[in-house]
Each structure stands twice: as structure tokens, then as C-alpha cells.
Amino acid sequence: MPQSDNYRNKTYRVRAEIASWSEKKAREQKKIADLNNKIGSAIRAMQSSKSMSTINSKRHEVVRYQNDLVKIKKSIADIETKIAKKNKELDADLKKFDTEELKESKKRQTELDAFQRKQTQTFNQMNQTLRTHENAIVQLQSLPEKITVLFLASNPRDQEQLNLDEEVRSIKDMISKAKHRDSVKLESCWAVRPGDILQSMNEFEPTIVHFSGHGSDADKLVLMDNQQQTKLVSLDAIVQAMSVANDNLKLVFFNTCFSETQAKKVVEHIDAAIGMRTSISDDAARIFSSHFYSSISFGHSIAKAFGQAKAALMLEGVKEESIPQLFTKIDAEDLYIVAK
């Protein structure tokens, strides 16, 4: 029970006590009137009587009535003292009641304000969720019936030779086993030189660009020159090339060592990118990429495909699942490449 209710109930009790004492006072005051009438009647009897015995008897009655008056007046004075005390107690309780009620009213208002803020926050979150789902639905509805994955491979002769053919074979194999295999077309370009990047993107208009090969810890992409030797391409050049790519480019996959920064920068211009935090082994690169494209070809979101590709590394016992990094403009759970 709120404290204000306790004070309210107490004021009811005190008011009832005051009313009871006031009724008792009224009864005592009526006795005074009755005694005064009796005294007046006795005095008149004394004045009209010539009998000494009658006069003496009436005199004794007057004295007795006057003594009773004194007692009654004393009783009334005691009652008035008690009423005054109760009124003082009532005033104090009323102040406590008002103070406590104001305090509880402020508390209720604070709780109401907090509840309304929570309701508003929940409502806004629901609206945001609905907008997100609506955006996801719009995106799914706008997905092309068929997408192209452009596999760009570069393996300069002056670098350690990588099994890039095994990687592309694994990706093709996993896509061919997927539910929506007919919706995904894999195009591959080998011995890629810097001038081949824009040419290939213009030719194939890919939804995904996949770089496979060596990486540089200086945030540069390792391609090759006309003599099949190493040709480094700067981070700014990579980002610029991706920023002016075809309009339907959604994802850039850097399956190269030390490509985290490249992926992070590219996302300023496209929806998503994957890069490697440090160096990654041939086996890890092959397993991760093939399972990623398998999941994409089953119609899963980029987030789920990324998670399944990491899980594939763990299932194979390849302890490099923390190397791949995913970057997106929006929630990766809402990003789809292949229509279900």
C-alpha cells in the first residue's frame, strides 16, 4: 500500500475522533442548559416561598446544581483540549499526506514518462525493423535472375606459385551442387594485368569481383606486368577502379593476403567487401571461397554465406577462420546476391 494511503486512512480516523469528541461536547453543553434552567427554577421557588425549610432545600439544590455545572464545564474544557490536540494532529497528517501524495505523483509521472519513452523507442525500433524488412524485400525483388562472378587471377613468376586453378575448380564444383546453380555464372580471367581489370568488368558486368593471388602488406594488390613479373597496384587505384565499376557490382572479394584495408576502403563505394586480415594459406583460401560461393548460390545472405565459409574452415580443421573479414554498408543479414 502506498504511504499516502496510510496517511489518508489516518486522517479519516482522526476526523472521526474529532467528530466523536464534538458530539460529546454538545451533549455536555446541553447539560449546562438544563442545569441553568434548574438553578433558575430553584431560585424562583426560593423567592416565592415563605417557608424556611423550602428556602433551605432550594438553596441546597442551587449549590448542588452549581457544583455539577463546574464539573461539566471542566469536562467540556478537557474535551476542547482533546479536540484541539486532534486538530493539530490532523493538520500534521494532512501535510504529510499532501507531501507524500505529491512525491508519489511525481514518481508516477516519472514512471509514465519512462514507459512512454520505452514505448516510443519500441515503436521506432519496430518501424526501423519494418523499414529494414521492406528494404530487404525490395532488394530481393530487384535481384537479377542471373549473376556473374568475375574471378581475376594473377600469379607472377617471381612470386611463390599458388594453386589458383584448384581454387577456381573448387568454386565451380560447389556452385554446380547448389540449389540456384543456374543463377550463378563464373567467368575467370588469368594472368591479370592492371589494364585487364576495367576491361573485364566492362565486358562481363559482374555482380561479384573476386581477386585471387598474392597480397602485399603495404595495402597493394599484386598483379603482373607484360613480362609476367610482379606489378603492384596502389590502394587508391584499386578503390578508384571499384568506384567506377558497373552499377550492379555488389561485392568485391579479395582472396589475397593483407587485403583487409582494401576491403574496408572499397565499401565506401559498394555494398560489401571481404578481405584478409593477414596472410592466408592456399588451402584456407580455397575452402573459404568455395563454401562462400556455395552458400551464396543457395540463396543465403552475405552474412550467412560468410559465417558458413568460416564454419567450413573450422570443420576442416584449418585454424585460419579469424583471418577473413567482412565489411558492409548496411546489415549483412539484409544483403542478398542471388534471388531465392
Query: What's the pLDDT tens digit per position in 302-327?
Result: 999 999 999 999 999 999 999 999 99
Query: What residue type is assigned to position 239 of the chain?
Result: V
Q: For each of the domains in the chain, give its residue range(s) and CATH number, in order of start.
A: 3-140 (1.10.287), 144-334 (3.40.50.1460)
DSSP state of 267: T
The pLDDT, as a whole number, for residue 163 is 86
- Sorting pLDDT into bands at 50, 70 and 90, what band is 184? very high
pLDDT score of 162 more than 80:
yes
Residue 303 · residue 268 · CB < 8 Å: no
Encode pLDDT of 8-58 as tens digits: 888 888 899 899 999 998 998 898 888 899 889 889 988 888 888 888 888
| pLDDT on residue 65 | 87
How far, in Å, CA of 254 to CA of 276, rounded?
7
Q: C-alpha cell of 327?
A: 565489411
Q: Would the pLDDT of 140 be above 50?
A: no
Distance (Å) of CA 115 to CA 2, 35, 74, 121, 135: 20, 68, 60, 10, 30
Strand-pair partners of 149: 186, 208
- Distance between CA atoms of residues 293 and 309, nearest Å: 9
**Pairwise pLDDT comparison (100 vs 296), residue with the higher score:** 296
Tell whether the model's pLDDT for residue 100 goes beyond 50: yes
Other beta carbons less than 10 A from residue 327's beta carbon: 20
CA distances from 291 to 153, 255, 310, 312 (A): 18, 13, 9, 7
The average confidence (pLDDT) of the chain is 89
Alpha helix stretches (DSSP H) within 177-254: 194-204, 235-243
Task: Judge whether 7 and 92 are in contact, CB under 8 Å.
Answer: no
Q: Is residue 134 very low, low, confident or very high in pLDDT (cuts 50, 70, 90)?
A: low
The neighbouring-strand residues paired with 251 are: 208, 272
Give the pLDDT of residue 104: 85
Residue 262: per-residue pLDDT: 95
Q: What residue type is 15 in one-letter code?
A: R
